[in-house]
């Protein structure tokens, strides 16, 4: 069980092997910039990870093999089974959960590190007391501290505290996000009165705790109760920050928690003097940050605005104009006829497509249309779905070639020449109010301009407004026809109708 | 290693990360996220290190949970990313071949 050659944790061999490991991470991500090479990149990153783990296992001071092997076996089994069972529509939940696991692991590691120092202090005071008894002098760690340095260096203590706080926030925030996505807790914003004040107070408590533990960094002054208290306060803060954020803002939240987990890992890397952890954590932190900013840009909102302004509450009142406006609706048969005689069709998918699991039938519909010589493409809004790239993965699962998945800015100029746009389970990302109505809460958000197309079919369960509670003028546009029903069912009916035409 | 060296590494890694990751197309953002999930499974190293100096049952429990979490991230993250990217890579695949195909690749990339 013990490795053949125990490596010195601070030696050159370990350092060099870690460099190989994180180079493979970076190269793996670089290959991830193209669909054709991404899979190989993922494999390379996995090899890098194997090297990093093996290098660590071969270090001096690694022990407790029963726990290590037990933990790795249990973790591998859970990970392997979960990755086979998870549905592509459930990817946002899974990523949220994995963010949480990473953050939780970091918080626990930071706690174990702190406990390690407390233990050293106990051993030291016992030893000192023993010497004291033997020599008849009254000795303590404090008196010893006058002669030797017996404190935890701040450059280790501070990153440990940061890792603990960010890790704990990420763990609990991610669990709440998971609960919302999995519909274990309501997706609507849940806000307490004075929530912002409570959050600010919690944050202040954490800062004060850091200062307190930082000032009292002598071994004799370590305070595990304060540390545990901070762990709990960070847990409450993480929960409170995510609870008020719901549905459509999820892509931003998931990306942000991803960034948090990465940052906490990098902080832990500094505390443990481990370069692989620093680089790996920082890469994840960068990725999460980039995605957070992209998602926020795609919604034309700032990150603080998404985090701290409950989206639902004020808007529900504003959008509640009760007057009935005329709209057109048609059945699957008419929709099929309209599609069959078009030259070009653009499909705009949204979260509703994921909920209805309609990706496969949508592909069948596209196949039927293409057989008739209709060009079919897909317009993907950056925040369609519940996480970055959610729609792309669903459509890839249904074997839609990625070349047909077009980004919003890319396809918008072509929409005026498009015969029919089919909006499936998307709402706010097509709402013209974002362009025309300055009073609208989503004003300024870039949209897929389906209103520009010659005709528009909106597949939707009812006329009810989307998550944001904003009425969509698109539905009342004379060029728009509503097709009511479950997305999967309507599309199946359209496919059947296309077969009979 | 001194703090400044470590912060230097962190800052440079951040620049490399931003440079490389900003080139990942939106189509691949979900696999990117699950792959970064796997990469932050690197926290497993921290778990392995702290469990080495566990002194009590509580320490061992903490270390065990951290190791399990980290390993789930690594194995689950890389495997599910592979599953997704497989769908992006192949254009036409016979329906019957799918289960074995997934079976064969999963073992290979499930490095732990």
Alpha-carbon distance values, A251 to A258, A311, B33 (Å): 11, 14, 11
3-state DSSP of A7-40: ECCCCHHHHHHHHHHHHHHHHHHHHCCCCCCHHH
Cα–Cα distance for residue pair A169/B49, rounded to 1 Å: 23
For residues A291 and A417, membership in a common domain is answered with no
CA B86 to the chain's CA centroid = 17
For residues A94 and A236, membership in a common domain is answered with yes
Higher pLDDT, A36 or B67: B67
The ipTM of this complex is 0.87
Which residue in the set A10, A35, A75 is minimally distant from B28, CB to CB? A35
Final residue in a domain of this structure, among A85, A103, A119: A85
Residue A171: is its pLDDT beyond 80?
Answer: yes
Residues contacting A151, CB < 8 A, separation 6+: A145, A217, A218, A219
pLDDT, one tens digit per residue, over A98-114 is 999 999 999 999 999 99
Residue A311: is its pLDDT beyond 80?
Answer: no
Which residue in the set B9, B20, B82 is minimally distant from A29, CB to CB? B20
Q: Among A283, A289, A382, A387, pick the best mutation site for testing chain B contact (most B Cβ within 10 A).
A: A283
- Say if residues B109 and B78 touch (Cβ distance below 8 Å): yes
* Domain CATH code at residue A412: 3.40.50.1220
For residues A43 and A147, membership in a common domain is answered with no
> Which residues of chain B neighbour A279 with C-beta distances below 8 Å?
9-10, 13
Q: Does B33 touch chain A (CB under 8 A)?
A: yes
Cα–Cα distance for residue pair A429/A381, rounded to 1 Å: 7
Domain hosting A342: range is 328-500
pLDDT-flagged residues of chain B (< 70): 90-112
* Of the candidate ranges A132-141, A339-348, B100-109, the one whose mean pLDDT is the lowest: B100-109
Higher pLDDT, A419 or B106: A419
Instruction: Give the residue-averaged pLDDT of A339-363.
Output: 92
Instruction: Please check whether residue A201 lies inside any domain of the structure.
Output: yes
Instruction: Please check whether residue A140 lies inside any domain of the structure.
Output: yes
For residues A260 and A278, membership in a common domain is answered with yes
Number of domains into which chain A is organized: 3
* Of the candidate ranges A60-69, A166-175, A270-279, A459-468, the one whose mean pLDDT is the lowest: A459-468
Which residue in the set B27, B44, B72 is minimally distant from A35, CB to CB? B27
- Say if residues A490 and A463 touch (Cβ distance below 8 Å): no
For residues A73 and A104, membership in a common domain is answered with no
CB within 8 Å: A275 and B30: no
CB within 8 Å: B91 and A401: yes
For residues A295 and A388, membership in a common domain is answered with no
For residues A41 and A134, membership in a common domain is answered with no
Burial class (CB in 10 A: 0-12, 13-18, 19+), A73: middle
Confidence of residue A3 (pLDDT cuts 50, 70, 90): very low
Instruction: Please check whether residue A313 lies inside any domain of the structure.
Output: no
The Cβ-side half-sphere exposure at A244, using a 13 Å CA radius, reads 21
The Cβ-side half-sphere exposure at A471, using a 13 Å CA radius, reads 15
Instruction: Please check whether residue A412 lies inside any domain of the structure.
Output: yes
Q: Which residues of A are known to be catalytic? A: 428
For residues A26 and A64, membership in a common domain is answered with yes
* Residue A139: predicted pLDDT: 66
For residues A57 and A149, membership in a common domain is answered with no
- Indicate the pTM of the whole model: 0.86
Confidence of residue A22 (pLDDT cuts 50, 70, 90): very high
For residues A114 and A196, membership in a common domain is answered with yes
- Say if residues A328 and A360 touch (Cβ distance below 8 Å): no
Instruction: Give the residue-averaged pLDDT of A399-411.
Output: 90
* Residue A314: predicted pLDDT: 41
Instruction: Please check whether residue A194 lies inside any domain of the structure.
Output: yes
- A 450-469 residues inside an 8 A Cβ radius of B: none
Residues contacting A9, CB < 8 A, separation 6+: A59, A60, A61, A273, B49
For residues A70 and A123, membership in a common domain is answered with no
Instruction: Please check whether residue A251 lies inside any domain of the structure.
Output: yes
A452, two tokens: 């520009």
- Say if residues A58 and A9 touch (Cβ distance below 8 Å): no
For residues A288 and A210, membership in a common domain is answered with yes
* Residue B104: predicted pLDDT: 43
CB within 8 Å: A280 and B62: no
* Of the candidate ranges A195-209, A426-440, B24-38, the one whose mean pLDDT is the lowest: A426-440
């Amino acid at each position: 069980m013990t490795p053949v050659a125990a490596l010195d944790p601070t030696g050159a061999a370990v350092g060099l092997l870690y460099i190989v490991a994180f180079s493979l991470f970076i190269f793996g991500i670089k290959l991830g910039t193209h669909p054709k090479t991404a899979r190989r990149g993922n494999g390379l990153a996995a090899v890098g990870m194997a090297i990093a783990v093996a290098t660590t296992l071969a270090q001096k001071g690694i022990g407790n093999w029963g726990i290590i092997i037990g933990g790795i076996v249990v973790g591998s089994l859970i990970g392997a089974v979960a990755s086979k069972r998870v549905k592509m529509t459930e990817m946002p939940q899974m990523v949220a959960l994995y963010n949480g696991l990473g953050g939780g692991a970091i918080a626990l590691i930071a706690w174990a590190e702190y406990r390690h120092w407390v233990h050293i202090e106990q051993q030291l005071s016992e030893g000192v007391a023993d010497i004291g008894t033997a020599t008849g002098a009254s000795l303590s760690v404090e008196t010893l501290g006058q002669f030797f340095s017996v404190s935890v260096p701040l450059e280790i203590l501070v990153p440990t505290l940061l890792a603990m706080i960010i890790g704990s926030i990420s763990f609990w925030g991610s669990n709440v996000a998971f609960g919302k996505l999995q519909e274990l807790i309501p997706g609507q914003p849940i806000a307490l009165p004075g929530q912002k004040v409570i959050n600010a107070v919690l944050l202040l408590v954490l800062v004060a705790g850091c200062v307190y533990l930082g000032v009292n960094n002598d071994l004799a002054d370590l305070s595990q109760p304060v540390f545990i208290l901070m762990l709990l306060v960070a847990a409450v803060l993480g929960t409170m920050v995510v609870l008020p954020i719901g549905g459509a803002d999820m892509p931003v939240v998931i990306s942000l928690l991803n960034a948090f987990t990465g940052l906490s890992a990098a902080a832990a890397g500094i505390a443990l003097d481990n370069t692989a952890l620093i680089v790996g954590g920082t890469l994840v932190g960068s990725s999460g940050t980039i995605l957070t900013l992209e998602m926020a840009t795609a919604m034309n909102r700032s990150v603080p605005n998404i985090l701290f302004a409950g989206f639902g509450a004020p808007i529900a009142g504003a959008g509640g104009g009760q007057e009935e406006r005329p709209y057109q609706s048609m059945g699957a048969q008419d929709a099929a006829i309209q599609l069959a005689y078009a030259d070009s069709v653009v499909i705009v998918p949204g979260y509703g497509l994921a909920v209805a699991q309609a990706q496969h039938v949508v592909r069948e519909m596209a196949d039927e249309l293409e057989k008739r010589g209709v060009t079919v493409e897909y317009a993907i809004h950056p925040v369609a779905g519940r996480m970055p790239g959610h729609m792309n993965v669903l459509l890839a699962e249904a074997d839609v070639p990625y070349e047909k998945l077009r980004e919003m800015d890319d396809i918008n100029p072509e929409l005026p020449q498009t015969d029919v746009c089919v909006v499936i389970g998307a709402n706010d990302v097509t709402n013209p109010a974002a362009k025309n109505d300055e009073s609208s809460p989503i004003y300024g958000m870039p949209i897929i301009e389906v209103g520009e197309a010659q005709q528009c079919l909106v597949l939707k369960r009812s006329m009810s407004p989307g998550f944001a509670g904003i009425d969509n003028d698109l539905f009342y546009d004379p060029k728009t026809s509503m097709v009511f029903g479950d997305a999967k069912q309507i599309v199946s009916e359209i496919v059947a109708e296309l077969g009979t035409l | 290693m001194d703090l400044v060296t470590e912060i230097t590494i962190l800052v440079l890694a951040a620049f490399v990360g931003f440079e490389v990751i900003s080139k990942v197309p939106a189509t691949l953002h979900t696999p990117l996220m699950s792959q970064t999930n796997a990469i932050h499974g690197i926290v497993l190293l921290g778990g392995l290190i702290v469990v080495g100096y566990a002194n009590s049952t509580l320490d061992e429990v903490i270390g065990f949970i951290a190791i399990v979490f980290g390993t789930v991230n690594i194995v689950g993250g890389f495997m599910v990313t592979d599953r997704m990217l497989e769908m992006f890579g192949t254009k036409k695949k016979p329906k019957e071949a799918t289960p074995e195909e997934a079976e064969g690749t999963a073992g290979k990339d499930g490095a732990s």
